[in-house]
Structure 1
Amino acid sequence: MLEQTPNVRNDDIDIVKLFGTLRRNALLIGISVALTGGLTYFISKQQAPQYEAVSSVIAVKSETGNSIMNNTLVSAPPLPQGAVEKAIHGRTVIEQIIQGLKKSKLPAAEQQNLIEALNKELRRNNFKLLRVKAKLDNQLTGVYEISGQAGTPLGAQVLANVAVDAILNWDLQRATSRLIRAKSSLEQQVVSLNQSLKGVKADSIEQQTFITARANVMQNLAQIEVFEKAATGTLTLVSEAEEPSEAIAPKPLRNAALAGLLALFLAAGFALISDALRKRIESDEDLTHFGAPVLGKLPKLTGKTLQRGIIESARSGMLYEAIGFLRVSLMSYTEGTTGPRRLVVSSSRSGEGKSSVTASLAEGLANSGLKVLIVDLDLHRPTQHKVWSQIKPLGWHSLPGADSNPSVPARDIQTALTNPKAAQALQVSQGIDMLPAGIPQRSASHVINNSKLQELLDRWDKSYDVVLLDSPPILALADALTVSRFTQGILMVVEANQTTYANVEATLKNIRTAGCHLIGFVLNKVTSRKDGYYYYYYSYRPEAEKVRKQS
């Protein structure tokens, strides 16, 4: 039985793992970047061009250094920080800009579009057509750049210049506002004095008093009118806007690059977070926490090596050494077993290499002088016949208890169960017989639950030292658990850097619930970056292997 042990995880950041995760998801990340960038480029190309024109004003102090001029000059108070931007986005200035647009030389349709856009921005309090950029010193003097955006170069120029005129007029009104109020008050006083003069006697002292008062008020009113004409604002025009030669938007290439870069970060982040949430088995240390031994670690073979086939790879090179260690560990952990060793080889999910491990292990056991029978019980996706297809078979022969020369041989597990007397196995290598699964089936219950299966295995394994049962993944089907009840246990294949902790935990839970025995793990497809020192990887040289074979 499998003992439950604490699941201790190493959460240290591993740079190699991060890059490995990104490499595994490179295709998905690349597709995300390409689609996002391409879609952004296409959308940007469809957008109408946008032009920007810039005009500028300067904010300076009104003192001239001449006391007479300073005494007669009325100027607006200094502008606080952000006042110009607030003003140009206020209703008073916007309405002046709209009036300026109506008087401009822009086509009526473009005028209307700009007016509607300005009103919409004013209602939303979100302004894009008119922007202010201030470059001021500590005394709030400096340059204000006022930019206008429109769908045509002329529209941008007119909008910027009209906006400058409106803000200059607003600034001037700040300077004259107090004078206008004072002038209105003096004019009302003159009217009042004139009314008072009508009600007094001619040449009276009272009349002379009103006349003198009216003269003083008229003198003050004349001074106010002089000051009004001499009033000045804080802002002064520096340069008018010119028609822009190029559009500022859209910029398809820039937008596509930025969108692609954002997609790259998001896709990479999603891949890393997803990988972190689905923590994978990376080394034998990760498996030992589950309470079962790691009997072997098999290297991940390159594409060039796989072209020779799994069996050829198991006969020489890195896989040969790794299988040797697995064979020794397996025989050691199953030592004391009475009779032939009958083992189920399975995995948590498909694609982890259980069938390849079964065939390679059989080759390693046969090299040590043991006789092995492989029974392919993965009737849903049988693979053993494919694994051995690159090796020239040595012929069919009858299994123990069967007729030596049946008229209709039963050459797969399905027909062997219905006609045991005609059961035949294919000798795929010296010391290795293989009984194929036969035609793939949607349901294997008629084989796995057949009462004759255990009886036939008991009969057949008397002529073999080891019987390996290649069964479906445990998380997909219960076949391996059903068969393992009349075996010594399950040898579980785990793919390095792909199988998750959750996969292994769920598999072991199923094994415990079914009351089955887990012999141990085989960590498959280990990369040399992680376990480069295992199995004498550093000592393997193809030319040395050729010399060894020749000798």
Structure 2
Amino acid sequence: MREQILILRRNWMLIVSFALIGVIMAAAASVLMPKTYTATSSLFVSTQNVETSAELQQGSVFALARVQSYVGLARKPQVLDPVIENLDLNLSASELAKTVKASTSRNTVLIDITATDSSPEMAADIANGVVASLIASVADLERPTNGLPSPVRLTSVDAAQPPSSASSPNTVLNLLLGFLYGLAAGLIVAVLRHVLDRHVRSEADLRRSTNLPLLGGITESHVPRHATGPAVLTGSGTDSFRRLRTNLEFAALGKQMRSLVVTSSQAGEGKSTVALNLALSIAHSGQRVMLVDADLRLPSVAEGTGLEGSVGLTTVLIGRSTLEEATQHWGSAGLSVLTSGPLPPNPSELLGSQAMEVLVQKLETEYDVIVFDAPPVLPVADAAILTRHTDSVLLVVGATHVSQHNLSKSVEQLSLAKANVVGVVLNRIPRSGPDANAAYRSEYGAAPLHAIENNGAPSSPVAEAEAAILRESERNGSPRKEHAARGGTAS
């Protein structure tokens, strides 16, 4: 029942759309369908020349037995040909039979003749014409051979009148059927969509793809969609990364986690945002942290933090600059950042080089934790190569973005590289809707993000983070003053 309700919540707009489409199509069909009119005339079957009650009883039984035969006779050419001739119809007997219907109720001697036509007057004329022709035909067929009158008499008891309204199309019925058919189609499509959808949307979907421990969940931030690069989260977002930081310490099982590669299965899952915020959270705990942008194909740390990107990891690896010259400081927590530097033509070879191994060893001696923002696992082999020089890997899973198959494949590739994957973090969990998880949406003791104000005007989380960092930098005399003067942002 829970899964069925989830299907309805996820696809209610789709189901409603199909129902509306069904109603619209039914309305269009009702408008385009030609109008038809139905007229009905009735006959009474009886016996005649009856003198005694016994003969009357026998005649009633005889009439009941004959009624069904007369119903079938009403649509035969013997009855319909005279109607066609009298009304000058441009139809054959078989074509006219399709517009005529004869029926009777059980245990009665009443026969109803119904005729349908696009003209109400013609429908009434056909019904009355069939009645008259049927009376004549029965009198002729039932006439005894001795010349006496027929023992059966058919009498018209209700002449057909031109109907005042069309019998077809029935607009109300058509709209109801269109709604029901559209609703059924929407439900079928919703179920198929649910069955065929293999995207990771919840923890249950995550468990179907991997047995790795779930170390944390990050809800969708309020950063504008057009923001580029990793985003700094505030409010409940910082609480989520504090929990992630704590869970990482437990996942280390008593071992010191010195170098951590943050990667994902494919692009667009938010690995850079997780890497940046995790590094900030660890730095706020008092540890010396270095964030290295090791994505040498599509780097984003420099753009997201506003730091200089022309000097960084690549210039250090090729000896063009020293580590001290390329290291930049960002934020109030003392976070050190090593941007990617100029993009090389051979990223994989550079990350797997001896120089990279030496650099990682040097960083481990100078910092407590080094966080590497690595490329995604499936498109390129850079992340798997980088794990040779590091001791831990954190896999970011973008909710509703990556499929269960791709997640399983990326875990398999990291396993083949003998990487120490400490766990996964479910990123971009919807804050509302059927896939929202209230466990990651708690804002206990924190003001709602939309209530943050700056000089009486609403402030975004990015602006709040930037203001706090710059204020702290001004108090401490941080080098970020120079960056603020250049117009850099902390988005």
Seq. identity, %: 21
Paired residue for 1:325? 243
> Contact 1:343–1:489 (CA<8 Å) still a contact in 2?
yes
Question: In structure 2, what is the Cα distance between the partners aligned to 1:480 and 1:256?
Answer: 58
1:263–1:74 CA distance, 2 compared to 1 (3 A): closer
Alignment-mate amino acid for residue 100 of structure 2: L
Separation in 2 of the partners of 1:280 and 1:536? 25
Deviation digits for residues 450-481 of structure 1, max 9, x if unmatched?
Answer: 66544444445544333333344434444433
Contact 1:51 1:150 in 2 (8 A): yes
Question: CA shift at 1:490, angstroms?
Answer: 2.6
Unaligned stretches of 5+ residues in structure 2: 454-467, 472-491
**Letter matched to residue 45 of structure 1:** V
CA drift of 1:418 comes to 5.2
Alignment match, 2:195:
276
Shift of 1:341: 1.9
Residues 133-167 of structure 1 show CA distances to partners (whole Å, capped at 9, x for unaligned) of 54x35xx1165443322233333333333343444
Question: 1:432 corresponds to which residue?
Answer: 335
The amino acid of 1:226's aligned partner reads L
Give the distance between the partners of 2:345 and 2:129, measured in 1 at CA. 79
Judging changes above 3 Å, is the alpha-carbon distance between structure 1 residues 131 and 487 closer, same or farther for their aligned structure 2 residues? farther
What's the counterpart of residue 290 of structure 2?
373
In 1, Cα distance between equivalents of 2:296 and 2:141 = 92
Residues 145, 494 of structure 1: CA spacing in aligned structure 2 closer, same or farther, 3 A cutoff?
farther
Change over 3 Å in CA distance of 1:73–1:321 after alignment to 2: closer
Pairwise CA RMSD of aligned residues?
A: 4.6
Please state whether the residue corresponding to 1:328 is helix, strand or coil. Answer: helix
Tell me if 1:291 matches 2:211: yes
Matches within 5 A, 1:68-467: 70=55, 77-79=63-65, 86-89=72-75, 93-94=76-77, 96-104=79-87, 111-112=89-90, 115=91, 119=94, 127=98, 129-132=99-102, 134=104, 136-137=105-106, 140-141=107-108, 143-169=110-136, 171-172=138-139, 175-176=142-143, 179=144, 183=145, 221=146, 225-228=147-150, 231-233=151-153, 236-250=155-169, 255=174, 258-278=177-197, 281=200, 283-284=202-203, 287=206, 290-301=210-221, 311=231, 314-316=233-235, 318-334=236-252, 336-337=254-255, 340-346=258-264, 348-378=265-295, 382-385=299-302, 388=304, 393=306, 396=308, 410-411=310-311, 420-421=320-321, 424=326, 427-430=329-332, 431-436=334-339, 445=348, 452-460=355-363, 462-467=365-370
The answer to whether the 8 A contact 1:344-1:487 is kept is no
Q: CA deviation at 1:384?
A: 4.0
- Greater Rg, structure 1 or structure 2? 1
Give the CA deviation at 1:104: 0.6
Aligned equivalents of 1:159, 1:449: Cα separation in 2? 93
Are 1:532 and 2:465 an aligned pair? no
Q: For residues 217-241 of structure 1, give each alpha carbon's deviation from its aligned partner in whole angstroms, at most 9, with x where no partner exists.
A: xxxx3xxx2333xx324x5433232
SS in 2 for 1:474: coil
User: Aligned pair 1:67/2:52, yes or no?
Assistant: yes
C-alpha deviations, 1:224-280, integer Å up to 9, x for none? Answer: x2333xx324x5433232223333334667646633542332123222233134356
2:384 alignment partner in structure 1: 481
1:74-128 Cα distance to aligned partner (Å, 9 max, x none):
7854248976665445xxx2453244123216xxxxx32xx25x63697xxxx5x
Residues 20 and 60 (structure 1 numbering): CA distance in 2 closer, same or farther, change over 3 Å? same
Give distance in 2, aligned partners of 1:352 and 1:51.
60
What is the CA–CA distance in structure 2 between the aligned matches of 1:380 and 1:79, rounded to whole Å? Answer: 92
Shift of 1:522: 1.0
Q: Is the 8 A contact 1:282 1:496 kept in 2?
A: yes
TM-superposed deviation, 1:325:
0.8
CA contact 1:410–1:419 (8 Å) conserved in 2: no
Partner letter of residue 78 of structure 1? L
Does the Cα contact within 8 Å between 2:79 and 2:137 map onto a contact in 1? no
Indicate how the Cα distance of structure 1 residues 74 and 328 shifts in structure 2: closer, same or farther if over 3 A, else same: closer
> 1:20 matched to which residue of 2?
9
244-253 or 439-448, which deviates more: 439-448
Q: Secondary structure at the match of 1:57?
A: strand
| SS across alignment from 1:160 | helix
Following superposition, the deviation at residue 326 of structure 1 comes to 0.6
Q: Which residue of 1 aligns with 2:484?
A: none
More helix by share: 1
Q: Is the 8 Å Cα contact of residues 326 and 338 (structure 2) preserved in structure 1?
A: yes
Aligned to 1:507: 410
The answer to which of 159-168 and 325-334 deviates more is 159-168
For 1:131 and 1:382, how far apart are their aligned partners in 2?
79
Q: 1:50 to 1:487 in 2, by over 3 A?
A: same
Deviation at 1:56, TM superposition (A): 3.3
Aligned to 1:523: 426
Deviations 1:175-198 (A, max 9, x none): 44xx2xxx1xxxxxxxxxxxxxxx
1:494 aligns to 2:477 (yes or no): no
What letter corresponds to residue 252 of structure 2 in structure 1?
A: T
Q: Distance in 2 between matches of 1:253 and 1:434?
A: 69
Q: 1:299 to 1:80 in 2, by over 3 A?
A: farther
For residue 523 of structure 1, what is the amino acid of its counterpart? Answer: L
Measure how far apart 1:328 and its partner are.
0.5
- 1:77–1:175 CA contact under 8 A, matched in 2: no
Please say if residues 130 and 148 of structure 1, whose CA atoms lie closer than 8 Å, have aligned partners that are also in contact: yes
After TM superposition, the structure 1 stretch with the greater mean CA deviation from structure 2, 279-288 or 360-369, is: 279-288
The 2-side partners of 1:443 and 1:160 are apart by 90
**1:367 Cα offset (Å):** 1.6
Secondary structure at 2:371's aligned position in 1? strand
Q: How many Å apart are 1:512 and its aligned residue?
A: 3.1
Secondary structure, aligned partner of 1:295: strand
Change in Cα spacing, 1:252 to 1:172, as seen in structure 2 (3 Å) is same
Query: TM-score if structure 2 supplies the norm length?
Result: 0.72
CA distance in 1, matches of 2:295, 2:71: 76
Contact 2:262/2:396, CA 8 A, preserved across alignment: no
Letter in 2 for 1:334: A
SS of aligned partner of 2:184: helix
TM-score for both structures, normalised by structure 1:
0.65
